[in-house]
Amino acid sequence: MVTQGLDGKRVVVTAGASGIGRTIASRLAAAGARVHICDVAEQSLTAFHDDFPDIGVTLADVAAPTDVDRLFDDVIAHLGGLDILVNNAGISGPTALVEDVDYESWTRTLAVNLTGAFLCARHAVPLLKQAQGGSIVNMSSNSGLMGVPRRSPYVATKWALVGFTRTLAMELGPFGIRVNAVCPGNVEGDRIERCIAAEEATCGLSREDIISDWVQGTSLRCFQTADDIANTILFLCSGAGAAISGQAIAVDGHVDHV
């Protein structure tokens, strides 16, 4: 894995205490980056800090402006600046037909997945400009490249993140700042298990049938791993990805139909 240019880079990973975020943060640190994470789950954050004491941690909900203010105060105190932002924080939102989605679920999904990325980028951009270049990676989804029934809040945010990414790439390119979106498919772990359970509850299908259907919908006939996603992010943030910006890159085994 080519990761040149990451040694000493100052990185923020949101929702970094567990799941994909934990893998991203630990892999960046192993590549020589100086990393700070936030997470909304205090217990997970404590466990992460026990395992990675050199990585800074902040308890924060990215949807809360005051929490994001505090996060970046901690980042400046811990890292002294910023070279890379990974906007990883996101929630699945409800699994329901649009007429059954309640307003609170809709607004919470937008707040975490979209507004959270905006709030973090708003703080990060001046620091990246001070560093005279850097990288932002927004965690979209292959759902941000297609429609998915019964997932309207989630899909809406992931499509919006692709547009946000491409607009930021245009704004920030003249400052040497690259902005890309990574679009995972079905990634092994707790989150996909929750999505499978939600599908079971709404569709009446078995877990085995749901997994089979999702796997058969990919050309590579597989789910992805957190390391697959981290590998792509490390590439994009390293010198190997220096010419890549404004892209929405699917890491999904090639989903060829919904």
Catalytic status, residue 154: yes
Q: From CA 165, how far away is CA 144, in angstroms rounded?
A: 12
Kindly report the number of other CB atoms within 10 A of residue 141's CB atom. 30
- The one catalytic residue among 48, 52, 72, 154: 154
Q: Are 39 and 50 in contact (CB under 8 A)?
A: no
Which residues are known to be catalytic? 154
